[in-house]
Chains A and B, each alone.
Chain A
Amino acid sequence: MPRIPVYQQQVAAPDIRVDVGQFGEPGRSMQRAGQVIAESASDVAARFKEAERAQKLMVAQGRMTRDLADLEIEFGRDTEWQTMPRRYEQRTRQLLDGYREAYGSDPVVFGMLQRDFQRSQLRGYVDVNKMARTRQVEAGKADLDTTLETYSQMLATTADPLRTAEIEGRARAAIQGMVASGMIGADDGQKRERQLYDRIAQTRAIAMIRDNPDEAFRRLSDENDPAFRRMDPRTREGLLTQANNRATTLANEAARLSDRAERHAERRLRLEGDRLMKDIEARIDSGEVIGEEELQRLQRHGGVSPAEMRILRRALRDGPAQTDPQIYMDLKRANVVDTPEDFERKARAAVEAGKLKLSDYSALVNQNRSDNRGDAPPSPYKSGRELVSQTLDPGAIFQGSAAAIGRTAQAQAIVEFDNWAQANPRATRAEAVAEAQQVIKRYQVIQFESIAISLGQPQFITGGRNQITLPALDAAEREVLRRLDAGLLTRAQADLEIRKIEGWRTIRSREAATPSQSTRR
C-alpha cells in the first residue's frame, strides 16, 4: 500500500544564548584601570604625606630642643636644690601638654615627638638630679666653711686649753660628718682640716702682729713654735712680711712721735733762747754792762747758738750799733727770697759789721723763722733716717732668704746712721741727707732697677710701665679689692696683684726718696 511521505526529521530551534562572562569584560577592564590609578595615586599621596610629616616633625623637634635647652639653662642657674627634680618634672609635663595641643592632630608626628621628648626628658631629669646633688654639696660645703670660720675665730680668741680642745673636736666632727655623708671626699676632709689649723694659726698670728709685731716675727721665724708648726710655708712667708711691715710702721710711728717731741723741745728751747737773747740785746742796746757769769749761763743754754753768742760778744765788745736803713731794707727783701740759712748768714754779717742793732737782728730773724715755719722740713735726723729706711726696705717684692737679707741690711744701716746722728747732734739737714746716702751706698745689696725690669705690670694699670705711678698704684689696689669683694677675682689672683702693686710701690717710693738715683721704667 502506497504511503504518503511524512516529514520526519524536523530541525530543532537554534541555541542563540551568549557567553555572559564576555559581556562583563569592559567593566572589568575599567575596574582594573581604576585600581591602578587609585594605587598609584595612593602611593604618591603617601610619599607626600610622609614628606609633610617629616617637615612637621622637624619643626616640632626644633621647638622641643630649644625648649629643653632653655629649661636646662634655667635649672643650671637654679639654687633651690631641694625642689629642682619635682619642678623639672612639672615643667616638662607642661611642655608635653603644649606639644599635644600643637601637634596632636597628627598622631604620627606627635607620637614620634613624644618618644624623642621622653628620651630627652629622662636624660634631663638625670642631669637635674645631678645638679641638685651638686648644689646640695656646694651648700653643705659653704655651711661647713662658715662653721669652720666661726670655730677658727673662737679658737683664735681663747687661751683656755679645755675650751680649745672642745672647739677643735667640734670642728673635726663637722668635717668628718661631711665626709661620712659623702658630700666631701676623705682627701678633701683632710685638706679642710689642714686649712682650719692654718686659719687658726693665721688668725692668732695676725692678732699677734697687730699687738706685738716683733714677737710675732720672732715666733713665726721659729718653725718649731707649737702654735705655727703646721703652717703652710707660703702663708708663713706672707705673715712674716706682714709682721716686718707692721714692725717697720710702728718703728716709723715711734720715730715720728719722738721726732715731734724732739722738735717741740727744740722749739721751746729756741723760744726761750730767743727771749733771753732779746732781753740781753735790749739791755746791751740801752748801754747796760752784762757780766761774764750771765754770758756763760746764756752760752750753756741750748736755745742760743754759738753764732748768736759770737754776735752777742761782739756787740758787747764794740758797743751799741745803729741800724743802717739801707741794710735793713735789703734784709727785708732777702727775707722773701733767701733760704733761712742764707738770710741768717746775711743778718749776722750786718750785725758783725755794726750796721744792724741786735734787737733789729732778732726781730728780722724771728720774722724769717715765722714766715718759713709752714714749709719747715723734717729734722735733719728724721730726714736721714727715713731716707735710709725707705731706700733699703725690701718691701713685699722678696720672699724667703732674699727678704731676710734685705731686712738685715736695712736694720744695720739704720743703726749706723743713728750712731752718726748721735755723734753729730747739730748736723744740718743737708749733712744728714748726705750721710744717709753714703750709708745707703754701703748697704744697698738689692738692685731695685733690675727688680723693676723683672716685676710684672699690675693688671689694672693701663698704658706702659711709665704709667705706673703711686696714685695709679693706689687706684689699681682699690680696683683689685673691689673685684675681690665682688667675686670677680679669686683670693690667689688678688694676692698676686697686691704683691705686684706692693713691689712697684716700694720701687716708686724709693725713686721718689732718691730722685738722683732713680730710673723710671
Chain B
Amino acid sequence: MCLETALVAAGMNAATAATTASAVGYAGTAISALGAIQSGRAQARAAEFNAEAAIKQAAANEAAQRRKSALLLSQGRANAAASGIEIDGSPLEVMADSAAAAEMDALTIRYGGQARSAQERMTGRMALSSGYTGAASALLMGLNNSSRGSRSSAAAQAAAPPASVIN
C-alpha cells in the first residue's frame, strides 16, 4: 500500500504513523462529506433552474393558448356577423361558454407550469437533503473506520476472564 510504504519510508514509528494515517483518513472522510454536499447543492441548483424554466414555459404556453382562443372567438364573432346573426341571446351564451373554456385552458396550462416548477423545487430540496445525509453518512463511516481498533478492544475485554479468579 502506497500510504503505508510512504510512512515506513519516512522512518516514522508505529504510533506516529498510525496518527498520520488516521489524519489522512479523516481528510478522506471530509472530502467524501464535502463531495456529498457539493453533489446535493449542484442538483438543487439544477432543479431550481428547471423550476424557473417550467414557470416560464407554462407562461409562454398560456399566452399562446390565450391568443389561440382569442382568435377562435373572434373568428366566431366574424362568422356570426357575416351570417347576420345577432350577437345576443343563445349565440352570445355560446360564445361566452367558448371564452370561458378558453380561459380554463389557459389557467390549466399555468397551473401545469406551477405544478411542475414545484415538483422541480421539491426534487432540488431532496437532492440538497440527500447531499447532507450523504455527508453525514460519510463522516459516520469515517469515524466507524477509525474506531475499528476500539471495536476489537471491546471484543478482547469481553473475552477476558473476570477480575479475580482466585476467590
Q: Are B32 and A20 in contact (CB under 8 A)?
A: no
Q: Are B24 and A27 in contact (CB under 8 A)?
A: no
Q: Give the Cβ gap from A91 to chain B, nearest Cβ, in Å.
A: 11
Given contacts A27-B35, A38-B145, A39-B28, whether A16 and B22 have CB atoms under 8 Å apart is no
Given contacts A12-B64, A20-B47, A44-B21, contact A30 B38 (CB under 8 A): yes
Q: Among A25, A49, A118, A122, find the residue whose CB has the most chain B CB atoms closer than 10 A.
A: A49
Contact between B39 and A13, CB atoms less than 8 A apart: no
List the B side residues contacting A26 at CB < 8 Å. Answer: 38-39, 42
User: Are B40 and A112 neighbours in the complex by a CB distance under 8 Å?
Assistant: no
Stretch at the interface among A103-111, A159-167, A444-452: A103-111
Interface residue? A18 (CB, 8 A):
yes
Partner of B141, one of A37, A38, A118: A38
Kindly identify, within residues 100 to 133 of chain B, every residue whose CB is under 8 Å from any CB belonging to chain A: 120, 123-124, 127, 131
Q: Which of A34, A44, A52 is in CB contact (< 8 Å) with B30?
A: A34
The interface residues of chain B, by DSSP majority, are classed as: helix
Residues 39-64 of A at the B interface (beta carbon under 8 Å): 39-53, 55
A112, B127: Cα distance in complex, Å: 48
Asked whether any CB of chain B lies closer than 8 Å to the CB of A17, the reply is yes
Residues of chain B contacted by A466 (CB below 8 angstroms): none
B67, B82, B142: most-surrounded residue (chain A CB, <10 A): B142
| Distance in Å: Cβ of B76 to nearest Cβ of chain A | 12
Closest A residue, CB atoms, query B4 = A44
Quick check: B82 and A1 within 8 Å, CB to CB? yes
Given A27-B131, A115-B160, A33-B154 contact (CB < 8 Å)? no
With A24-B43, A44-B1, A108-B149: A114-B35 Cβ-Cβ less than 8 Å? no
Q: Which residue of A lies closest to B51 (CB)?
A: A17
Taking the complex as formed, is A191 at the interface, i.e. its CB lies under 8 A from any CB of chain B?
A: no
Interface size range on B against A: 35 or more
Contact call B1/A40, Cβ cutoff below 8 A = yes
Q: How far is the CA of A42 from the CA of B61 in the complex (A)?
A: 56
The answer to whether B60 touches A108, judged by C-beta atoms less than 8 angstroms apart, is no
* Known A10-B68, A44-B1; contact A38-B35, beta-carbon cutoff 8 A: no
CA distance A25 to B43 in the complex (A): 9
Known: A13-B64, A40-B3. A106 touches B153 (CB 8 A): yes
Query: How many interface residues does A have (CB within 8 Å)?
Result: 63
Residues of B within 8 A of A49 (CB): 14, 18, 149
Contact A34 B35 (CB under 8 A): yes
Contact present for B142 and A28 (CB under 8 Å): no
Residue of B nearest to A18 (CB): B46
CB of A313 within 8 Å of the partner chain: no
Contact between chains at A25 and B39 (CB < 8 Å): yes
Residue pair B134, A34 in contact (C-beta under 8 Å): no
Complex Cα distance A20/B165, Å?
A: 65
Residues on A with C-beta less than 8 A from B18 are 45, 48-49, 51-52
A75–B155 CA distance with the chains assembled, in angstroms: 35
Which residues in A have their C-beta under 8 angstroms from that of B120?
17, 20
What residues on B are CB-neighbors of A114 within 8 Å? 160-161, 163
Roughly how many angstroms separate A279 CA and B111 CA in the complex, as a whole number?
185
Write out the residue numbers on chain B whose beta carbons fall within 8 Å of the beta carbon of A35.
28-29, 32, 138, 141
- Which A residues lie at the B interface, using CB under 8 A? 1, 6-8, 10, 12-53, 55, 89, 92-93, 96, 106-108, 111-112, 114-115, 118, 121-122, 125
Q: List 13 A-B contacts (CB under 8 A).
A: A12-B61, A26-B42, A31-B34, A31-B134, A35-B28, A38-B138, A40-B28, A42-B145, A45-B19, A48-B18, A50-B149, A111-B156, A115-B160
Give B contacts to A, CB under 8 Å.
1, 3-4, 7, 14-15, 17-19, 21-43, 45-47, 49-50, 53-54, 56-58, 60-61, 64, 67-68, 71, 75, 82, 120, 123-124, 127, 131, 134, 138, 141-142, 145-146, 148-150, 152-154, 156-157, 159-161, 163-166
Q: A20-B127, A41-B24, A115-B159 are in contact. List 8 more A-B contacts (CB 8 A).
A: A6-B71, A13-B57, A18-B49, A24-B43, A35-B29, A45-B24, A48-B14, A96-B163
